[in-house]
Amino acid sequence: MKHESPAYIKVDNIFQRITKWLVYVGAAVLIFVMLVAFVDVIIAKIFGSSIKFATEIITYCDVPLAFLGMGYTLLIGQMTSVDILFGRFSAGVQRILNMIYDVVGIGFCVFLGKLSADNMLNYIANNTLSNPKGGFPVWPFALVETVSWFALALAFLFCCLRYILAPSKLLGVTEKQAKIEEVEHMIEGMEGKDK
């Protein structure tokens, strides 16, 4: 077994905790969006009015909802994947394909992060508002998107480095160990009953 880098594992754990907190921020934004939509419907039904810029608020809050949890989802191995063909390859080929996938993901996310950052700077320079008749500045939502793309790029980087520096942090290894421990516990329980 390869010697694992304790420094990498420490940094990986810190980054995983940070991305987990981004999931909590996304959950708070979801609650906020639900409250705005609920109150807007109630006001519309009772008073025939609406919360000012409710549609814009809900629309722009979709950005953090969509992006904030992706880095953590990738790090814990829960990104959507199609394993029908992939599972037929040997473990070594799967490892190489995963590393290629991670490298492509890094490039893709850095490219989209740069586009998002350029978009955000354009919003700031032009003082773009959520509604041409007034509203709130939209650059903070572009900032969230930019940060999210770069956080996802870092998550891809950490996933790629796990194959080299900390194979035990790969989800498959952890899951397999948990299953082994579960079976051992069941066997111990059955042996205890036989005595």
- pLDDT of 187 higher than 90: no
CA nearest to 39, candidates 54, 53, 28: 54
What pLDDT, on a 0 to 100 scale, did the predictor assign at position 91?
Answer: 77
Residue scoring higher pLDDT (135 or 22) = 22
Mean pLDDT of the chain: 84
What pLDDT, on a 0 to 100 scale, did the predictor assign at position 173?
Answer: 47
